[in-house]
């Protein structure tokens, strides 16, 4: 078993006491809370931290940031934890400066790839080059949260500013994807959701002010390439980055570009991302192309429409969010499933009828009613197939049928959800 910072053991001991009447949840937390540090975290000789996703040896920017999110509230109580997270930030920035379009990277420049035949710009560092807007959003959220918790201004260095400029330039280009972008991605002999149509450019889009994404947070191809939850996240993290650099001299041009981009994306969401649903009223679409076409659905992978308050985009009681939430958690959403053992969000990424624990945990983190929180936690505890870990997805009618036995992000988000439930005192 890998050693981890003392504060992590302290939190585990505290929660063990708090859950003295919930032995199953005790065991789940003891397993899930330290899982990232025990099994998927490597401190490298260059001072950086590599966090791979679990059963795949690559590091996703999104996953690695979320795999450590439940540790961030404890940063000020542990120098060791601060160093570990700061090392992860350095690794994120190195990867972004290498290629901001890439979603997953290798630990070394070993030329390993998910598919060596992918038609995109692959380098020895790149595991997979599916462009997902949220990847670098999670990097900026990670850096901002670390900075906000620790007041460590050393993370706002030349390397950070270079990466930030690359991100902003990329998002500006992708506002005009059809005209300005050189990004393409094609994969042969695969399901349609694993490749982009139109010679790797994706389906046509109209200008909206939003920024284009090739793939969803599930790594599945977008149907229409303005992914609304991702663009919500862009609005949020631009605010974070503006707060971080607003005091710096010589960054006026970058600041103005970021302010304009944030305004453009927000207006795009308001003008193109909201539709009228005959049952639920005004709701957010999942995707749009700017030509009047929309995808009305939600996927368990974060960012999702369900996760909008978790991302910091809106309040839980926001009217359009609540309308959207009711739609998302209804049969109107083609990826909402109900079975004998559970009901919740799934994904086209996994078999029909499979519910994602990540989706259930996100329901917890965006729920205010203690009774509903308790019911969701109980569902998570009763559908782990006796493994005392979370999975990617499970059959709502048979939880012993599941995907990805070792999926650290799911363990981390469950831990976050359980800590939230304890804050809400739902077990008292």
Give me the DSSP letters along 335-356. TEEE-SS-EEE--TTS-TTEEP
- pLDDT, one tens digit per residue, over 170-219 is 999 999 999 999 999 999 999 999 999 999 999 999 999 999 999 999 99
Examine the pLDDT at 2 and tell me if it is beyond 80: no
Secondary structure (3-state) at 128: strand
36-324: CATH number: 1.50.10.10
Closest residue by Cα to residue 385 from 422, 364, 355, 344: 355
What is residue 428's predicted lDDT score, i.e. its pLDDT?
85
86 band by pLDDT with thresholds 50, 70 and 90 = very high
410 band by pLDDT with thresholds 50, 70 and 90 = very high
Mean pLDDT of 94-117: 97
- For residues 380 and 382, give the distance between their C-alpha atoms in angstroms, rounded to a whole number: 6
Examine the pLDDT at 1 and tell me if it is beyond 90: no
What is residue 4's predicted lDDT score, i.e. its pLDDT?
85
What is residue 129's predicted lDDT score, i.e. its pLDDT?
98
Examine the pLDDT at 21 and tell me if it is beyond 60: yes
- The pair of structure tokens assigned to 260 is 């304009």
What is residue 113's predicted lDDT score, i.e. its pLDDT?
97
In this structure, are residues 42 and 58 in contact, taking their beta carbons and an 8 Å threshold? Answer: no
What is residue 203's predicted lDDT score, i.e. its pLDDT?
97
Domain regions of the chain by residue span: 1-33+335-428, 36-324
Secondary structure (3-state) at 92: helix
Mean pLDDT of 328-343: 98
* Averaged pLDDT score across all residues of the chain: 97
Mean pLDDT of 393-407: 96
Examine the pLDDT at 383 and tell me if it is beyond 70: yes
Residue 58: Cβ-neighbour burial (10 angstroms; 0-12, 13-18, 19+) = buried
E strand residue ranges, 63-183: 104-105, 126-128
What is residue 3's predicted lDDT score, i.e. its pLDDT?
74
Q: What is the pTM (predicted TM-score) of this model?
A: 0.97
Q: How many CA atoms lie within 13 A of 33 on its CB side?
A: 26
Q: How many residues does the chain have?
A: 428
Q: Residue 426: which residues within 8 A CB-CB, separation 6 or more?
A: 370, 371, 373, 374, 377
What is residue 420's predicted lDDT score, i.e. its pLDDT?
98
């Amino acid at each position: 078993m890998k050693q981890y910072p003392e504060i992590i053991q302290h939190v585990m001991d505290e929660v063990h006491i708090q859950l003295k009447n919930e032995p199953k949840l005790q065991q789940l937390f003891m397993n899930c809370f330290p899982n990232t540090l025990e099994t998927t975290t490597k401190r490298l000789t260059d001072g950086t931290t590599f966090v791979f996703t679990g059963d795949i040896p690559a590091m996703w920017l999104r996953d690695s940031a979320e795999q450590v999110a439940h540790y961030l509230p404890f940063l000020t109580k542990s120098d060791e934890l601060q160093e570990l997270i700061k090392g992860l930030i350095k690794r994120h920035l190195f990867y972004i400066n290498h290629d901001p379009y890439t979603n997953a990277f290798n630990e070394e420049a070993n030329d390993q790839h998910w598919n060596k035949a992918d038609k995109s710009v692959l380098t020895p560092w790149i595991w997979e080059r599916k462009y997902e807007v949220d990847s670098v959003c999670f990097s900026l959220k990670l850096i901002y949260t670390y900075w906000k918790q620790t007041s460590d201004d050393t993370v706002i260095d030349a390397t950070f500013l270079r990466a930030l400029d690359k991100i902003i330039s990329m998002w500006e280009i992708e506002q005009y994807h059809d005209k300005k972008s050189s990004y393409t991605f094609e994969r042969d002999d695969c399901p349609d959701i694993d490749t982009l149509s139109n010679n790797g450019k994706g389906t046509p889009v109209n200008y909206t002010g939003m920024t284009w994404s090739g793939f969803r947070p599930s790594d599945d191809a977008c149907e229409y390439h303005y992914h609304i939850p991702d663009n919500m996240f862009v609005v949020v993290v631009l605010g974070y980055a503006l707060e971080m650099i607003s005091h710096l001299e010589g960054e006026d041009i970058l600041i103005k570009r970021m302010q304009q981009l944030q305004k453009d994306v927000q207006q795009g969401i308001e003008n193109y991302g909201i539709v009228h649903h005959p049952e639920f009223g005004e709701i957010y679409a999942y995707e749009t192309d700017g030509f009047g076409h929309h995808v009305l659905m939600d996927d368990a992978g974060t960012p999702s429409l369900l996760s909008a308050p978790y991302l910091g985009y809106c309040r839980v009681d926001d009217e359009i969010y609540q309308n959207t939430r009711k739609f998302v958690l209804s049969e109107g959403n083609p990826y909402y499933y109900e079975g004998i053992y559970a009901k919740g969000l799934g994904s086209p990424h996994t078999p029909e009828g499979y519910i994602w624990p990540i989706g259930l945990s996100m329901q917890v983190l965006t729920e205010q009613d203690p009774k509903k929180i308790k019911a969701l936690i109980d569902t998570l505890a009763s559908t782990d197939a006796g493994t005392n870990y979370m999975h990617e997805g499970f059959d709502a009618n048979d939880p012993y049928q599941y995907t990805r036995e070792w999926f650290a992000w799911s363990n981390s988000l469950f831990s976050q959800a359980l800590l939230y439930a304890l804050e809400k005192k739902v077990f008292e």
